[in-house]
Structure 1
């Protein structure tokens, strides 16, 4: 009986007017129609479905984020009635708000009982009415779903408190969905603590690149993955921005280019944001937004400095609550939506011509006091205040970052437009650093000398300026091959650093690391190998992460060169690969990478008779834009190229490659010695052993490699005694690494073969094979000549002498093929094995577990018929799998 009574009551006539006596506006109870190009996003619809399990769902995002269409589409697809109410500014009056909410329930067929009543006055609502409504809702068999769209239009504490009262007492009988641009005044913290709220915020509402591509496809636009990522990055996935861009692109002859290059300040997107966001704000807020658009991020204090007022903290807090495209970054920092910032900057230039420069100047000075050097320099340079920016850089001891900074920390980019201007030491130092960073000695050295002259005339103690001069002088000395100047510069730098507070030096670890790398390179050029190794090894161990990545990889490349020169090919390869990994880890661009590391790898490939690989490495060094103004790199390039030409049978070109071109002020002993080695090898290859020996006479006793080469030349000339005498002068236990000991053993073996001591020759060849196998050294055996073939025919296990792309070895043997194909992941693991990475490093690099890597290793070993890592790499190289 009670049930029938309730049903009869719910069929009573609906009220036709609101408390003011005006008709209810039917459009406020209708969800908006979805456009034909609407994209349904399942992940967000699922979140709304989940929201049916909580009393309150909050869909909170900026204007144009797609909130309303999302909820409207979801509601239309439910098999249950949904009461829809679009809020209006008039709803600030509680009586009107509740009258419209009750009418929304009736329109949706969710009629409240007649006894609940309706507000009698626009400005108030009876508490008893709300209690009756909550009780009515709580008694329903299934909850009533109510959507209030544009809830930010009724931001009153009274209505929020009343909604919370009904929501709480309706219990499970109400599912309230608030669609809003700003956070409502409801006690959200309580709902979050109780788990009674589902929230969909701006970050979730943003389109992904895949969703953006699908949306544009619905507009008839096909976009590449790259273009979709670019557009989403620029719009930050903002729904209205994507739709407006799509509409504009449809009118263009080249839609993809239009989407990539559209001018934000003069577009339908600008019109939308200016109308929907900027012009809705009070005049003071509009002024603040225009002014902060010149900075990437801002705090209230910075915003006050830009506006000349003191109300930024309050305004920014409100804008954040209202989702007015002001995004919090934490620790009181904010940023504007990037597209909104672009539009505001364009609007600023039109409304206040010339003000942008002054704002950059104000920002630079405020940021300099906050300790943000990168941003200080960016704004100082943007203002054209070069003297301020240069002085800030030098005083911070950050001049080394003009060489090491990459990506967002690249301090060289802001100074790209700086000209000579006034004569100040700081400005001249920055100009000199900019030129020397590009290896332009012709312009860099005069700038450096001018800075030194200005400092000499100044009685003030400019320690940062003098320290900057010492760093640049060390680099200039390295580039000109002047080790004495480099040492003096480093000494001055050490003396000056004692008067600098330790915490300031600690902020710039790149300063000492760069000095060590420059001095180490200069020492190597001078032939002071032990001293060079000490400085370079110290540079490698310097802390600092990305700040010292460039000098660390530079030093590793030079240490690799030292190992190669000493015949330690495996050590050279490890250090060169470590240098390249360091560059990859920190994203150093090609021109900043150590050219020497790539050249050493090419030279190692020649020693292994992998000539195509060596040529590819040399070509890559050239293609990557590695300069050869550095004399060590130039000499390494010449030597690696010459050895490859010798291996390819072009001795004339090899000699030409190492001819002195006078690129350095001081000649390098080691470069001269190795050029003599190339010349000797070329003469020997041409059948003139006397000329080969003569080429080495001045240097034969300076380097073990020269002594070995001279012994080979003398033996070829028939002078066995002199040849063995030269070898007897070599230090014990050996003259250097395997590349030298193997060649020395083969010269002795050939001498024994000539004297008829076949047993000794076989023993020496076996020793050479054993030493060479560990590092896959094939070139010494290729160079040895036909006498070796009979001895190799009886030597055990030397099929590894066949290079990946080479010819058959002396016995005509080739390695057996792989029986089973390697999987793509096994190939990934194999490549990292070749880089001498540990199991843990491979797992981290491939984003898999250590156990997964071990499983792949077992598969590798089985398919390659080996039992160890080194054998797997060797076998893979023989089979051209690497």
Structure 2
């Protein structure tokens, strides 16, 4: 049929019928007379079939367009879906199940016309009502048929089932002509296993085609449960979910599972079921050329396959073409992505192929895994390389890869690495230094740190037996594990600095080709050195190394190392008194751990402890308790000496804040008693003594603090200097207290230590009668505290004059009035056991005047507000002072708040 025959949309279809077409000779081929009834009838719905409403609705919506395409592999339920829709259809439906014989042009059009006639599509007198195509259909006859379809009196849906059997170019060309200008009252539903060789892209561009494919046809859990229920097969929801995952919702697979369960069999491995294997072998594999089937069998050792990897396993040059053709043929091969480089086989097909490979070529299986292991290793896909090496029992290759990628123990791939290492037979572990490293990693994962050094020593002994140059990757791995277990876990911080310095030195002489995990090793070493420097008290150097560790870990994808480094930056900021910075770092570390699902890991503990310490200084006791509890839970099963001690110090400080000083002392004694004997951490020792000094000050033993620090004032840190200043203030050494506070302010401006120092200065100035200086000093303390969210110094300094100074501050310095009011609310709570004032029977007018006292209004201004004379207000004030037993206005305010009068 040529394009000039004309099926233009402007012409009336009846006018385009040629009179001589109806006079063509009528001759029904003998083959067309056989089995027409069966081929023109929709399949019967068997009892127990699941009528899936969502699919029926999809077909029904598609039937409103010229073409609906159902394209999926065998057994996905394409035909039964359309047959289910037919039971609800309101249009006339003509059904034709195609056969390879229909590649004959005459046979095809004979069956199409017959199916339409059987559906009542032609009324008497219609051009096609009596037409019987002659043998050897010509273009003219096809023109007559197509024009007749344009003149259908009613809307008819023609279902062409098994459309994949239609391959003849002549027939497909005829259908392309039909779809170029689709008849108004004809709808086509094409049911096929493979992508039709039709110009459907034009229909897609115009939105005139609906497509239903495998993912749409896949059974959902509720539909699968109904399928089992309809067959009276009882299964649990977990079993349904497992079968859905194993079959990917494949209808035939679920039907076969139903049949097996109905016969009382248990299906632990559905792919091993004879029915599944037989179905896939006959319906999928048997239809493929032998070389393609061999290709599938060899590549079935993979979970996902790409062309390069397939070529390595099979030697096939055109692997990409084969994979793409298998996907187009819906041969249970799925491309991953819009323009796929990677493909995945259906799990059941993959398992059937693997069983076939194991049965037919067992000697080939380990070799294929070893080839895959080396290919993945070259691509940097370490876990996949290790898995295939284990499957191929290539233990030496696996161990060398593990040594190169020890940093994976601190990555999201830790579980995958450990799972592979556990597959190494116990008898293999002592044979090479690399396998000894694998054993050490397993002990490290289990928290059995005590036995790790022995494995490292054995690895070094085995290495010494080898000849040749030093194996730097192996040496780096040994040093890294040693630094983590022998030094960091047990708290030997000088040793940790030394070991990590050695690791960084080795790494500087290596290239990526020699050690693929060079960046990861470097990130771990930088972070560990930063931690060692932190707890040896070298804060500035620790800051630089920890920041370098954060950057390197982020670049290398080691999220656990990044979390740990940021958490230790938060602890460093706490030691410096920079609470806002500490809070930012701590929340970042905790949020990152939460997002990555590692909140309960050892590496998240530092951030949680820092956050608890910050919340204590904010006087948020409940939040501090929560973060401390999380930290303790996280490192309970995997303790690290330094973090255990920080936990104890945090708990002791929490007891100080809540007033349980005896519990604080007990916690400090326990921390010292239970510390690892190998722990050397000068900064933590000083922090322990500082916390002990906090307990001494809170319990009124300032002399103990002076005895502890008084002889070494030149070498004190800012926090220690402030603590000694508070002790001197409590003991009356005002000049020395002020001098120490001034030194702390100079060395630690704008942070927690400065708040303490300015507060001490304010109290000293007040005690010396320097009111203005006291106001200015307290103003500086409040300004810093408000910016940093600091509250604890004002609540725990233990000087009763501070509440009076804060009250004065509230009215004299308006910028911080709201913050000071909050502090006053916490520093002067109502005390149920406080002795009542001698007389508190204030009159209504006196209570009214009392409410104005916390303001800065003068007596004259209060009188104006109350519309009374100033003498009346003064008289009320004298009465108020007498009844509250005070002599000054600010004392009256404090006493009134104590009695809950204002």
Distance change (3 Å), C-alpha of 1:731 and 1:761: closer
Quick check: 1:184 aligned with 2:184?
no
Check whether the contact 1:85–1:100 (CA below 8 A) recurs between aligned residues: yes
Q: Report the equivalent of 2:728.
A: 714
Deviations 1:275-322 (A, max 9, x none): 543455566655544443331112355446556777866654443232
Q: Report the equivalent of 2:754.
A: 741
2:828 match: secondary structure: coil
Pairing of 1:374-393 with structure 2 (within 5 A): 374-393=383-402
Pairing of 1:1-20 with structure 2 (within 5 A): 19-20=30-31
Q: Report the equivalent of 1:413.
A: 419
Q: What is the distance in 1 between the residues matched to 2:725 and 2:329?
A: 85
Q: What is the distance in 2 between the residues matched to 1:218 and 1:11?
A: 52
Quick check: 1:442 aligned with 2:450?
yes
Q: What is the distance in 2 between the residues matched to 1:307 and 1:88?
A: 35
Deviations 1:739-762 (A, max 9, x none): 222222333334444445555445
Q: 2:330 aligns with which of 323, 327, 334?
A: 323
Deviations 1:748-798 (A, max 9, x none): 334444445555445444433332222332222222225133333444166
Shift of 1:705: 1.0
Distance change (3 Å), C-alpha of 1:466 and 1:267: same
Deviations 1:354-383 (A, max 9, x none): 765444234223444555433222110223
524-533 or 266-275: bigger deviation: 266-275
Q: Report the equivalent of 1:466.
A: 475
101-110 or 289-298: bigger deviation: 289-298
Q: Report the equivalent of 2:272.
A: 265
Distance change (3 Å), C-alpha of 1:812 and 1:269: farther
Q: What is the distance in 1 between the residues matched to 2:320 and 2:828?
A: 82
Quick check: 1:594 aligned with 2:604?
yes
Aligned residues: 797
Pairing of 1:65-104 with structure 2 (within 5 A): 65-104=76-115
Quick check: 1:336 aligned with 2:345?
yes
715-724 or 703-712: bigger deviation: 715-724
320-329 or 649-658: bigger deviation: 649-658
Distance change (3 Å), C-alpha of 1:271 and 1:159: same
Deviations 1:548-593 (A, max 9, x none): 3222221111110011111111110100111123334444463254
Shift of 1:712: 2.0
Check whether the contact 1:137–1:174 (CA below 8 A) recurs between aligned residues: yes
Q: Report the equivalent of 1:149.
A: 161
Check whether the contact 2:578–2:752 (CA below 8 A) recurs between aligned residues: yes
Q: Report the equivalent of 1:873.
A: none
Check whether the contact 1:509–1:548 (CA below 8 A) recurs between aligned residues: no
529-538 or 507-516: bigger deviation: 507-516
Distance change (3 Å), C-alpha of 1:486 and 1:680: closer
Quick check: 1:524 aligned with 2:514?
no
Q: What is the distance in 2 between the residues matched to 1:316 and 1:365?
A: 22
2:561 match: secondary structure: helix
Distance change (3 Å), C-alpha of 1:237 and 1:799: farther
Q: What is the distance in 1 between the residues matched to 2:280 and 2:206?
A: 37
If you compute each CA radius of gyration, which structure gives the higher value, 1 or 2? 2
Shift of 1:32: 2.9
Q: Report the equivalent of 1:876.
A: none
Q: 1:792 aligns with which of 794, 803, 806?
A: 806
Shift of 1:640: 1.3
Q: Report the equivalent of 1:656.
A: 669
Check whether the contact 2:491–2:679 (CA below 8 A) recurs between aligned residues: yes
Q: Report the equivalent of 2:741.
A: 727
Q: What is the distance in 1 between the residues matched to 2:195 and 2:132?
A: 28
Pairing of 1:479-558 with structure 2 (within 5 A): 479-501=489-511, 509-542=519-552, 544=554, 547-558=557-568
1:417 match: secondary structure: coil
Distance change (3 Å), C-alpha of 1:656 and 1:218: farther
Unmatched 5+ stretches in structure 1: 814-882
Check whether the contact 2:101–2:107 (CA below 8 A) recurs between aligned residues: yes
Q: 1:607 aligns with which of 596, 599, 617?
A: 617
Deviations 1:847-867 (A, max 9, x none): xxxxxxxxxxxxxxxxxxxxx
Check whether the contact 1:221–1:250 (CA below 8 A) recurs between aligned residues: yes
1:405 match: secondary structure: coil
Q: What is the distance in 2 between the residues matched to 1:577 and 1:230?
A: 39
1:99 match: secondary structure: helix
Q: Report the equivalent of 1:24.
A: 35
Shift of 1:615: 1.4
Q: What is the distance in 2 between the residues matched to 1:226 and 1:769?
A: 60
Shift of 1:501: 3.8
Check whether the contact 2:71–2:195 (CA below 8 A) recurs between aligned residues: yes
2:30 match: secondary structure: coil
Shift of 1:685: 3.2
Quick check: 1:59 aligned with 2:65?
no
Shift of 1:186: 2.5
Shift of 1:190: 5.2
Q: What is the distance in 2 between the residues matched to 1:795 and 1:226?
A: 67
Q: 1:427 aligns with which of 435, 440, 443?
A: 435
Q: What is the distance in 1 between the residues matched to 2:778 and 2:677?
A: 42
Q: Report the equivalent of 2:406.
A: 399
Shift of 1:517: 0.4
Q: Report the equivalent of 2:873.
A: none
Pairing of 1:699-710 with structure 2 (within 5 A): 701-710=715-724
Q: 2:690 aligns with which of 677, 684, 695?
A: 677
Distance change (3 Å), C-alpha of 1:611 and 1:21: closer
1:658 match: secondary structure: helix
Shift of 1:347: 6.1
Shift of 1:638: 1.9
Unmatched 5+ stretches in structure 2: 1-12, 811-815, 832-902
Shift of 1:686: 3.4
Q: Report the equivalent of 1:771.
A: 784
Shift of 1:605: 1.4
TM-score (structure 2 length as normaliser):
0.77
Distance change (3 Å), C-alpha of 1:313 and 1:703: closer
Check whether the contact 2:744–2:753 (CA below 8 A) recurs between aligned residues: no
Shift of 1:651: 2.7
Q: Report the equivalent of 1:645.
A: 655
Shift of 1:529: 1.0
Check whether the contact 2:616–2:792 (CA below 8 A) recurs between aligned residues: yes
Shift of 1:18: 5.4
Distance change (3 Å), C-alpha of 1:377 and 1:233: same
Check whether the contact 1:516–1:536 (CA below 8 A) recurs between aligned residues: yes
Quick check: 1:580 aligned with 2:590?
yes
1:447 match: secondary structure: helix
Distance change (3 Å), C-alpha of 1:274 and 1:794: farther
Distance change (3 Å), C-alpha of 1:207 and 1:426: same
Q: 2:459 aligns with which of 451, 460, 463?
A: 451
Quick check: 1:131 aligned with 2:143?
yes
Q: What is the distance in 1 between the residues matched to 2:341 and 2:807?
A: 78
Check whether the contact 2:194–2:330 (CA below 8 A) recurs between aligned residues: yes
